[in-house]
Chain A
Amino acid sequence: MSIKHQMSIEGNDLRLDFDKEYTQIGKSVPRIDGVEKATGAGKYAGDLKFPNMLYGKILYSPHAHAKILSIDTSEAEKIPGVKAVLTSKDVPDMKYGISPARWDENIFCIDKARYVGDKIAGVACIDEETCYKAMKAIKVEYEVLPTVLDYRHAMDEGMPLVHDNYPRNINTEIHQDFGDVEQAFKDAYHVREDVFTGTRAYQNPIERHSNVCIWKDDKLTIYPSSQSPHYFQYYVAREFGLKMGQVRIVLPLIGGGFGGKLEPSGLEFVGSVLSKVTGRPVMMSYDRLEMFQHNRGRHQGTYRIKTGVDKNGKILGCHTYFLLDGGAYTGLGIATAYYSGALLPLTYEFDNYKFDGYRIATNLPACGAHRGHGAPQPKYAFESHLDNIAKDLGIDPLDIRLINARKPNTTTVNGFGIQSCELTACLDRIAELSDWREKKKKGLPQGRGIGIATGSFVSGAGYPIYRNDWPSASCMIRVNEDGTSATLYSMSADLGQGSSTILCQMAAEAMGYKYENMKIVCGDTETAPLDFGAYASRQTLFSGWAAKRAGEKIKKDILETAAFMMGLPNEDMDLDCVDGVIFSKSRPKVKVTTFEEAAARYFKLKGPLVGTGVYTVHRTGGYHKGAPVGTSPAYSFGVQAAEMEVDEETGKLTCLNFWDVHDCGQVINPTLVKGQIHGALYMGIGESIFEQVQFDDKGKIVNGSMGGYLMPTALDMPSNVINETVESYEPVAPWGVKECGEGSTNPTMGAFRNAIADAVGANVTSLPLNPEHVWRAIQEKKAKDKK
């Protein structure tokens, strides 16, 4: 990686470092956990085993809305092998959640069950089979209540309430108004309004939620599949009235999260109490259906968007009105609701914006933070809407995006500061790669179309989930006594995205060391300093700063020791250490020494060689209600284009070509970045065409399995996927990095929808864009054409 210039804003010391070559970053080193994952040796939570371990399960409500009249556990307790049965009276009744503004969940339902899957009782037994038998033997008497299943009618007069304290079932209501939208509409050459509807999608990581809880004396240790050890530690300690130091969270390998493993799952609370009362380790897990019921996946919504443009297609003002189906509890959903409107002004520049949002409580599984948190479906609606406007005006969809594309060093109408932004370069490059102009000029064969869409996302949230004034990320590096290895201790979480790998690359680069000698202990609250974990695409920038700074401290100590060893002064910063070799920059003939030797010497003279690093986000965002949501030190930008073939008789879709061009700042590990974009594309294709959680009229999921909820197989994915990054450097980030994993989920649905519209001239207005929906849109168009 050659970087044109690097500005370090540390301590206001702005240094320029021209054309520096790096040895540890900018390279596709193999992932640090590669061998243990490829050989099956690595342990995920469900693979753990402790002496005397019990298995636990949670009994759930079969009704979407029901009063709990009585629970009789006596028969279950008699079954041989049943060691404990818990109900709400056996556990704390403090409400929890993840966003403190709306803590509304209990470990077990106290008054009533609010969705099929709501937690009623817990069992711990000698094996899983006995757990199922015990759950069957628990007798629960319910009074079934009328349900609220359709979020579009949940606010109607006379509808039952899911929670008494959410009048008209409004969980969150947002009204943000910037500039003067009405005036903008008056000034506009063309004003258009569209309505699109989304769908419920679920993260569906292949690894099921599991954890082992060990509560011994006054210490509670949990091995969870979690995206954030810190938040788990905080919420578990809070719930049980423990000090933070009494709770230890240790992450095993995590089999994917995508947002779904950020919130407490309930398993950790129930497992903890089961462990306390039995005095034994307890393994808890959800089966696949229970995962779907616990959910915390994508909110479905209705997205009404009205936009006014001038005659060139320049956006003058935009008014969005979003109605989101939040499900039975809040979780992270309040943030989702704010994100859904807040992130829309990122990709295009306009001065007038109004956002009205409602998150509605229903008797369905709770929705939360799903890859791209809140942004992808509104973005699908907006990108579809923009294509409709372009069509009205006779403008090429590429051009309307170029005209409006955000420029670097700008501020969004809702107060987000943008430094680096290469959206225009992304648009230009994708036009070249996809041969866009030529295809538009000549036209594609019948049934074939091409579509384009843009996206953007935060590189870490500007504020933590619960209010605190701690730094956003910190870490520690300890160099082994003989200098042959160094361990990075970080409370970050590697869910598969590769954060452990890139943090070690970054640490090694800063230390002047070698990646292959790095080890990492991540996600252990007892050994690693605070980091909020893996969400909001934060770790490369946030945890990366901490790793860089910790590494730089080590390097400073190493160079001082080396100067002493080499008999040279170090005051003029003449020594440097690169790739494990220490040398004099101005005296090339001076004999070099190594990192190893200097580190060993350091230990002999001064004791452990340890470096710590910390990062605190600078103050971001405006002062309006909800202003913190969507703030970030930096934003990624990206464009995707899809070429689709539509079988007009069946609506079947084939994606022939797919392009992604991304501005994710400087790239630490190209293979991992590509992997993130492939994965985002995968989830984007899934959510666009295949995936939809469906319910019967009683609120029960009808397709809560891998065979019912259809994630694409290898045969469903396009063969031709081309992705590139554009040259970009983010000044407030370590080595100029930005996120890429979530931002690249944003454009996909819009690109597909626009390609379909281009192919068959039909306006598909609801997700998923499955064959039947596409076929219906084609039928409607045919009927209209006949008239």
Chain B
Amino acid sequence: MANVLTDKEGKKRYLVSFTINGDEHQGLVKANTLFVNFIRDELDLTGTKRGCELGDCGSCTVLMEGKPVNACLLLAVEADGHSFTTIEGLATTNKLDLVQEKFIEYGAFQCGYCAPGMILSAKALLNSNPKPTEHEVREAISGNLCRCTGYVNVVKAILAASGQEVEH
């Protein structure tokens, strides 16, 4: 359990630490601080978006121990001790991740608001299933709503990132 500090008014703050994109971060959070708000407001990792705030749209998707979860339904205190990847952690200084490259090449996002979450869901899929079928791709991103693309080019980009031949 995280260390607890109590202020003069008896309000509690919880000391949490976690790894994000390989970096250690500590924070003093309120119990009701959501992980999505903590990383956006305190760490300026605004690539993780707030969309529906109820776990329905997937735009706040982050990878927790490599698995996609909704950061809007995760308390910062519950994130304590865990390891995360956000969209900022995919590309290295000079090189985009292959999934990001294929998303751009295939026109897999338009407004781009769902893209970080969608790309992370795709990344998690390909990590556990390097040659997914089209249906498996659709299942893996069914928690990521996109209002622009109809998913047509998203599915193509993910299949292409898995090395499968896909028409543009």
Contacts and interface: CB of A to CB of B under 8 A. Distances in A.
Given A44-B49, A207-B49, A711 B147 contact: yes
Nearest to B91: A39
Given A31-B107, A38-B103, A715-B139, A679 B112 contact: no
Interface string A709-727: 0010111010101000000
Interface in A194-222: 203-208
Chain A, interface residues (CB within 8 Å), range: 35 or more
A39 B59 contact: no
Contact of B51 (A39, A208, A253): A208
User: Of residues A678, A714, A719, which shows the largest number of chain B Cβ atoms within 10 Å of its Cβ?
Assistant: A714
B145 A675 contact: no
Interface stretch (A420-428, A490-498, A590-598): A490-498
B18 to A, nearest CB: 18
Interface stretch (A254-262, A341-349, A458-466): A254-262
Nearest to B46: A47
A679 B149 contact: yes
Contacts, number: 171
B147 A682 contact: yes
A40 B147 contact: no
B77 to A, nearest CB: 16
Interface in B46-82: 46-57, 59
A675 B44 CA distance: 31
A781 interface: no
Contact of A37 (B46, B115, B142, B155): B115
A681 B146 CA distance: 13
Nearest to B57: A706
Chain B, interface residues (CB within 8 Å), range: 35 or more
A424 to B, nearest CB: 27
Contacts of A253: 111-112
Contacts of B168: 28, 671
A39 B90 contact: yes
A256 B149 contact: no
Contacts of B114: 206
B16 interface: no
Interface of B: 32, 40, 44-57, 59, 86-88, 90-91, 96, 100, 103-107, 109-116, 119, 134, 137-139, 141-155, 168
Given A287-B53, A713-B138, A715-B138, 14 more contacts: A34-B103, A34-B104, A37-B109, A38-B115, A39-B87, A40-B88, A47-B49, A206-B59, A679-B147, A682-B151, A707-B55, A711-B147, A714-B144, A717-B151
Interface of A: 28, 30-31, 33-35, 37-44, 46-47, 49, 129, 203-208, 253-256, 258, 287-288, 495-498, 671-672, 674-675, 678-679, 681-683, 685, 705-707, 711, 713-715, 717, 719, 721
20 contacts: A30-B104, A33-B112, A39-B88, A40-B116, A206-B145, A207-B51, A255-B111, A256-B147, A496-B148, A678-B150, A678-B151, A679-B147, A679-B148, A706-B52, A706-B56, A714-B139, A714-B141, A717-B138, A721-B150, A721-B152
